[in-house]
Amino acid sequence: MRIGIVCPYSWDVPGGVQFHIRDLAEYFIRLGHEVSVLAPADDDTPLPPYVVSAGRAVPVPYNGSVARLNFGFLSAARVRRWLHDGAFDVVHIHEPTSPSLGLLTCWAAQGPIVATFHTSNPRSRAMIAAYAILQAALEKISARIAVSEYARRTLVEHLGGDAVVIPNGVDVDFFARAEPNPEWQGGTIGFVGRIDEPRKGLPVLMAALPKIFAACPEARLLVAGRGDEKEAVENLPKELRSRVEFLGMVSDEDKARFLRSIDLYVAPNTGGESFGIILVEAMSAGAPVLASDLDAFAQVLDQGGAGDLFANEDPEALAEAAVRLLRDPERRAGLRERGSAHVRRFDWSTVGADILSVYETVTAGAAAVAADDGGSPGLRARFGLARD
């Protein structure tokens, strides 16, 4: 099968959507499919052979973060050329409502289109306001996927229709077989994320550290991610700052080793999360997980069965939960065991097969769609396509 995948965000800046698309493309390539990914990227950025650059992206504030998007006449021309040269059996667009390559591709593509919705934002005024513009593009989509129930809810409330829920995927064995780094072992709390993005919650964790360090004198914090390290610790008492180590950006291999080495992974994110891929990666590596009780995180952690939860944006609750876990190795061992079993449902062997099933259904039903002005009721019901 010839598969075209559209990434809305810059390939240069790591993020959950980019990682999902990368791993999905490589999964299909290993199965023998022909895959091409269209993504924003600087012209001098080294790209995998399956990625085609649509040109440089520009930063746009969105959903509590900064999305690096690509839009305009030049981008539209590159989209059309990519579609023409690819002659794809199916085009898979991620975030088709973002003002980037996904929307441009929706307008230009012909034939079966699959769309994945990643965003969870129940109060998106922009999405509501843009509905009239988006409607024509959305009507061309053959099947809709949401990465979580909360992403599906955002889609239903703002744009109508429905979607099948297929979660983000992870190569579980890649994390499970990583070798721990002895330098990162021993009373370590781990955090991975952009340091200067407030919704990732590092300030909440920093506010909890004095109480954690007082109760657990051997504990320390390891932080992996880009951002202003001095600003991150400016509210932490000076005598405690030496117990926080910043590793900067780490490779995929080092991230796996990091998660295999730590005693406790903390996800203090404050909102805007539709899934929580880092939780899945941590569980894959066997790290006990403590996360804020966001709906999406609770779902990933089996409502607290595969990881502990604390009240969102509450440093006191975070500190109490972290101290309890750091002092209880049996509890941590239990979380490791349950997390390692629970996480198998997110492995690419399951997630990729489910997505491929969607592709096969929409391509097989393309003739029926054309003949029946929208396809069979069963196909439309399964993939969230409601008649107008």
Say if 314 falls within a structural domain. Answer: yes
Say if 98 falls within a structural domain. Answer: yes
pLDDT digits (tens, 9 = 90+) for 44-77: 889 999 999 988 877 666 555 666 667 778 888 9
In a shared domain, residues 240 and 106: no
CATH number for position 97:
3.40.50.2000
In a shared domain, residues 195 and 238: yes
Q: What is the mean pLDDT of residues 224-251?
A: 96
Length of the chain: 388
Strand 34-39 with 51-53, pairing? parallel
Whether 188 has a pLDDT exceeding 60, the answer reads yes
Per-residue confidence at 387, pLDDT binned at 50, 70, 90?
A: very low
H helix intervals, the chain: 16-30, 73-86, 101-108, 125-129, 131-138, 149-159, 172-176, 202-215, 229-232, 252-261, 277-284, 295-300, 315-326, 329-342, 348-364, 366-372, 377-382
Q: What is the mean pLDDT of residues 299-313?
A: 97
In a shared domain, residues 238 and 187: yes
Is the separation of the CB atoms in 76 and 108 below 8 Å?
yes
Whether 90 has a pLDDT exceeding 60, the answer reads yes
Lowest mean pLDDT among 62-66, 115-119, 214-218, 264-268: 62-66
Q: In the numeric block, which tokens belong to residue 298?
A: 């609770």
In a shared domain, residues 146 and 252: no
Closest CA to 120 of 148, 87, 101: 148
In a shared domain, residues 293 and 368: no
Q: What gap in Å lies between CA 178 and CA 342, rounded to an integer?
A: 19
Whether 136 has a pLDDT exceeding 80, the answer reads no
User: If DSSP codes are grouped into helix, strand and coil, which group holds residue 309?
Assistant: strand
In a shared domain, residues 299 and 361: no
Total domains, the chain = 2
Whether 122 has a pLDDT exceeding 90, the answer reads no
pLDDT of residue 376: 45
Say if 60 falls within a structural domain. Answer: yes
pLDDT of residue 99: 80
Per-residue confidence at 179, pLDDT binned at 50, 70, 90?
A: very high
Say if 247 falls within a structural domain. Answer: yes
Per-residue confidence at 377, pLDDT binned at 50, 70, 90?
A: very low
Is the separation of the CB atoms in 188 and 213 below 8 Å?
no
Say if 61 falls within a structural domain. Answer: yes
In a shared domain, residues 153 and 283: no
pLDDT of residue 346: 97
In a shared domain, residues 227 and 363: no
- Own/partner pairs, 334-341, CB within 8 angstroms, 24+ separation: 335/288, 335/289, 335/306, 335/307, 335/308, 336/286, 336/287, 336/288, 338/302, 338/305, 338/306, 339/282, 339/283, 339/286, 339/287, 339/288, 339/289, 339/306, 339/307, 340/176, 340/283, 340/284, 340/286
Say if 58 falls within a structural domain. Answer: yes
Query: For 290, left (φ over 0), alpha (ψ -120 to 50), or beta?
Result: beta
Per-residue confidence at 161, pLDDT binned at 50, 70, 90?
A: confident
Say if 388 falls within a structural domain. Answer: no
Whether 94 has a pLDDT exceeding 80, the answer reads yes
Is the separation of the CB atoms in 245 and 221 below 8 Å?
yes
Per-residue confidence at 148, pLDDT binned at 50, 70, 90?
A: very high
Q: What is the mean pLDDT of residues 244-251?
A: 96
The residue ranking higher by pLDDT, 147 or 372, is 147
% of the chain exceeding 70 in pLDDT: 88
Lowest mean pLDDT among 34-43, 129-138, 199-208: 129-138
Q: What are phi and psi of 196, to 5 degrees?
A: -100, 20
In a shared domain, residues 85 and 185: no
Lowest mean pLDDT among 82-91, 201-210, 268-277, 363-372: 363-372
Tally of CB atoms within 10 A around 385: 22
User: If DSSP codes are grouped into helix, strand and coil, which group holds residue 290?
Assistant: strand
pLDDT of residue 352: 97
Closest CA to 219 of 249, 180, 245, 200: 245
In a shared domain, residues 128 and 28: yes
Say if 147 falls within a structural domain. Answer: yes
Q: What is the mean pLDDT of residues 339-344?
A: 96
pLDDT of residue 62: 58
**Where in the sequence is the domain holding 165, given as residue range(s)?**
2-169+348-382
In a shared domain, residues 118 and 226: no
Q: What gap in Å lies between CA 118 and CA 270, rounded to an integer?
A: 17
* Helices 101-108 + 131-138 axis angle, to 10: 50
In a shared domain, residues 163 and 228: no
Q: In the numeric block, which tokens belong to residue 89?
A: 């059996």
